[in-house]
Structure 1
């Protein structure tokens, strides 16, 4: 399982348990320096001509244009969308995708497809994809033209923190900022090195997450000596305040339908969970709906799939004030 790290937030589990902890910030006297992220290992990359990069990007743009302009409108016109009021619809609604996130995800998907073509052509390893490919400069290509321009405005003294999270840390203004990618403790471990969900190491897929849940979590009454059910509810409250990962959407931002659809109408971003035939709760169904998260590619870079955080990582009780 990949572990993600937000740069500013102390572990909310500490807050959840009510333990008083002082986070290391520049407000301490004397200030405590935060250790920098470890440097990336150097990997040898094959030489690529600019014309080759242009060709890969062009192929990716053609492939994604087919999805955006033909496939997605076609399944939308067939009525292959989530039915309002169903559990899958409510799940998708809780992972709302803003228009800006959808626009950026389109650019990121072209970047991902370009990465796939390069990985296949040069047979790149996982380390080459994680550490070498992002160093390739694509700013003078059509892909670079689509990437949003990031401008680091100076942090000005102000009474209130920015809602976007920008400049909440004046030394590292982008730490915890909304609409940025999650950072990883470890490199991504996709089965194709780019975006396909992790496999067993060979050609076989991993067991269904539902099977793992049934094997690990038993329906037993094991009261905790001092924690109550409200502890889990409070954990969810804090979790949803500091992180929000939207789901991919289809034509016109409609929520994708991934179960009980024809194979020809199966969206590439669907990842349904297979249910065991003897499932004690959902045995009458074949699978649970699963949609992959909106993904984010660093501007002007080629990268394996990374997930986007659309909320800043500070605790401000958005659910109380009604802010999404």
Structure 2
């Protein structure tokens, strides 16, 4: 039986993880009050009154609900969150905080919630808490399955409740200038001018399947045996994947995937509600706090005592803070959803930012240029003026850079990729400004940005996707296609690239590369296309007292999938039209024996498998992954292209590229971008996503095998837009 069809008793459903530690101990009287239900109102079952909404009354026929009860519940949970200020002050008095240089600090920098997120978080938490209470009170009495309960809750809109102020910030009305704008918006809005919020930054992730939470609203799912799922670290440590080196693909496949992820998805972790401070869930030595010092938003990853890596370092706790929730565009109750801080489209938002304020901060406002740091005969990214916020402070005091996304500092190779594209923007902008003297700074900036986005889109769909999926995607634009990034894509499928075999870099090597980044951009870029995958990857992060331990990214990704309510691997097999595994032995046709054995050691049932784990364990097919992750990736990239009104090849955008401009864009390869923006690289394989071989030998950057984009096609004197036909 699939886990999503299981039922749980009241005792198992309540209390929810987000509030349990706060309620237990501090508000035991309140807890008893909730568990026994509050005032039973006999008139709830007597049909709708004149002042009540008939549709609302029909949601729970056996025990009718009214707006008075909904608002009463909302006010109740609001009071609980108000009282949480005391709890957060206690943590402050106890000096429970994230210390600079710890793994928690690194994770916080990568998932730091922006002000727009924290503004949405409080009302979203209150809506989720109220939904959880209503689900407990009404769904249990009607014996509803979780999906049925969640769907009914989503019919309850918050516009008529005490949370209506949060609804007023949702949605986007597009003006005439938005509809006919030649350039896409910075925040992704009005790409679809009928539903302006589609694709916009700071909106929720979509879903391929209805979320699966224990209790139907927010608590992580359990095993089909009703027990807690195995520790994410236990699963990760035992997982055996194919260790045979990939003889075809280079590291560039991985790093481009990460670069693309930064463009399309950025999940934020929660902050403290009242103090606005980051949340620490484990002490700096990797030990768990006592329950009184654990914030309700913590969902720590337990490390088994016999862990092959952490036990030697006496680490028993890996910090994980639950992701920031957000309201959907319909402003309804229901299961918890998570916010995407990035735009949902491929639009180079990691380079240009996702708000106008951020974009303006990155600009030079001279000849359309982005701000950079100038060195002798070289340029690197602008040095951050806020390293505590933008970077994890490293052992060697490496410089901290700024770009459109704080994950620019994730590792040196990613920093090099960002540097490459900032240089490309400035290279194009300088050429356009010289060629078209009548263009002002804004025109040059927008035209250069437009070309850069087109180049990234072309490389993604013409080079990278065929390498990773084994097939091309050529979806035509349709305004009814929804671009919203799926939770499954952001939380599992694209994240799986972080756990494919790639090899391991030492802490010292990583730090030296960050320290001398301005001297080693060429080295980092060349590593991407010269190296093949060889083994599991761990990120090594500094720690106080000169001790280090690694953050197992796969453990974090598994935990995030559970936090986000992703259903099971088997559920996605069925969604993708694949066979369901009833036993572990049914996995033999699609997984290697050692992978199946490792899964048996962790999970009690094949129906418990996490999506990212089952997906990684599958044998690759035509592309880099097995059929399940390929299905999720393919779905997203088809929708991303088909929904983008401003996709570079779409003739239906307000001002499409001319025939001659399209021909130039279609020449672009990642090899050409590296040739044009590195300092000393003179030879490179034409196919950067493949390793160097006889069929893909290094060629001179001046070779016809690595064609140049001729920017003369953008000469203002012959600048025309012709309708492009397919």
TM-score under structure 1 normalisation? 0.80
CA contact (8 A) 1:242 1:313 kept: yes
Find the counterpart in structure 2 of residue 152 from structure 1. 173
Out of 266, 272, 287, the residue aligned to residue 294 of structure 2 is 266
CA contact (8 A) 1:208 1:275 kept: yes
CA contact (8 A) 1:80 1:261 kept: no
Which whole-Å CA distance do the structure 2 matches of 1:229 and 1:275 have between them?
30
Find the counterpart in structure 1 of residue 317 from structure 2. 287
Find the counterpart in structure 2 of residue 11 from structure 1. none
Find the counterpart in structure 2 of residue 60 from structure 1. 77
Find the counterpart in structure 2 of residue 229 from structure 1. 251
More displaced 10-residue stretch of structure 1: 168-177 or 72-81: 168-177
Map Cα deviations across residues 249-272 of structure 1 (whole Å, 9 max, x no partner).
114322111013221011111111
1:75-114 matched pairs, under 5 angstroms = 75-114=91-130
Out of 104, 108, 117, the residue aligned to residue 133 of structure 2 is 117
Q: Secondary structure at the match of 2:179?
A: coil
**Is residue 136 from structure 1 mapped to residue 156 from structure 2 by the alignment?**
yes
Q: Which has the larger radius of gyration?
A: 2
Which whole-Å CA distance do the structure 1 matches of 2:150 and 2:135 have between them?
11
Out of 227, 242, 250, the residue aligned to residue 264 of structure 2 is 242
Find the counterpart in structure 1 of residue 202 from structure 2. 179
CA contact (8 A) 1:44 1:128 kept: no
More displaced 10-residue stretch of structure 1: 145-154 or 84-93: 145-154
Find the counterpart in structure 2 of residue 30 from structure 1. none
Find the counterpart in structure 2 of residue 209 from structure 1. 232
Out of 296, 317, 324, the residue aligned to residue 348 of structure 2 is 317
Q: Secondary structure at the match of 1:253?
A: coil
Which whole-Å CA distance do the structure 1 matches of 2:197 and 2:347 have between them?
18
Structure with more relative contact order (C-alpha pairs < 8 Å, separation 6 or more): 1
Which whole-Å CA distance do the structure 2 matches of 1:228 and 1:213 have between them?
24
Which whole-Å CA distance do the structure 2 matches of 1:163 and 1:252 have between them?
30
1:299-314 matched pairs, under 5 angstroms = 300-314=331-345
1:87–1:44 Cα change, 3 Å = same
Deviation at 1:314? 2.2
Which whole-Å CA distance do the structure 1 matches of 2:166 and 2:192 have between them?
28
CA contact (8 A) 1:129 1:304 kept: no
Which whole-Å CA distance do the structure 1 matches of 2:350 and 2:198 have between them?
22
CA contact (8 A) 1:89 1:255 kept: no
Which whole-Å CA distance do the structure 1 matches of 2:59 and 2:70 have between them?
18
Q: Secondary structure at the match of 1:71?
A: helix
1:174–1:145 Cα change, 3 Å = closer
Deviation at 1:109? 0.7
Q: Which runs of 5+ in 2 are unaligned?
A: 1-57, 283-287, 353-402, 406-726
Find the counterpart in structure 2 of residue 297 from structure 1. 327
Map Cα deviations across residues 166-212 of structure 1 (whole Å, 9 max, x no partner).
01233442221111111111111101211011111343111112222
Deviation at 1:89? 0.7
Q: Secondary structure at the match of 2:238?
A: helix
TM-score under structure 2 normalisation? 0.37
**Higher helix residue share:** 2
More displaced 10-residue stretch of structure 1: 253-262 or 86-95: 253-262
1:64–1:175 Cα change, 3 Å = same
Which whole-Å CA distance do the structure 1 matches of 2:219 and 2:228 have between them?
11
Which whole-Å CA distance do the structure 1 matches of 2:128 and 2:93 have between them?
27
Which whole-Å CA distance do the structure 2 matches of 1:319 and 1:138 have between them?
33
Q: Secondary structure at the match of 2:275?
A: helix
Which whole-Å CA distance do the structure 1 matches of 2:334 and 2:106 have between them?
31
Deviation at 1:319? 4.3
CA contact (8 A) 2:88 2:275 kept: no
Which whole-Å CA distance do the structure 1 matches of 2:187 and 2:319 have between them?
31
Q: Which runs of 5+ in 1 are unaligned?
A: 1-42
Deviation at 1:44? 5.3
Deviation at 1:102? 0.8
Which whole-Å CA distance do the structure 2 matches of 1:223 and 1:120 have between them?
50
Map Cα deviations across residues 110-137 of structure 1 (whole Å, 9 max, x no partner).
1011111111111253123321111123
Find the counterpart in structure 2 of residue 15 from structure 1. none
Which whole-Å CA distance do the structure 1 matches of 2:243 and 2:68 have between them?
64
Find the counterpart in structure 2 of residue 278 from structure 1. 306
Which whole-Å CA distance do the structure 2 matches of 1:323 and 1:138 have between them?
33
Find the counterpart in structure 2 of residue 170 from structure 1. 193
Following TM superposition, the consecutive aligned residue runs of length 4 or more in structure 1 with deviations greater than 6 angstroms are none
Q: Secondary structure at the match of 1:211?
A: helix
Out of 46, 55, 60, the residue aligned to residue 45 of structure 1 is 60
Deviation at 1:215? 2.6
